[in-house]
Amino acid sequence: MSESDPIQITDQDIAEANKLSLSCPICASAVENNVNTPAVSPVICARCQTLYHRACWEQNGDKCAVLGCGHDECYPYGTELGPRLVIKYSDIPKHVPATPSPNGRFKELKEQQRRLQEGQRGAFGNLLTRILKAFGWR
pLDDT digits (tens, 9 = 90+) for 14-41: 666 655 567 888 988 888 766 677 888 8
Tell which residue, 80, 81, 79, 61, has the closest CA to residue 71. 61
Domain boundaries, the chain: 11-76, 100-134
Handedness of CA 111, 115, 116, 117 (dihedral sign): positive
Tell me which architecture the domain covering 11-76 has in CATH.
Answer: 2-Layer Sandwich (3.30)
pLDDT tens digits for 61-108?
A: 999 998 888 899 998 887 776 776 777 878 777 776 656 566 667 778
Beta strand 74-76 with 42-45 is: antiparallel
Q: What angle do CA 86, 87, 89 make, to 5 degrees?
A: 145
Mean pLDDT for the chain?
Answer: 77
Strand partners, 67: none
Contact yes or no for 91/80 (Cβ under 8 A): no
CB 3 within 8 A of CB 36: no
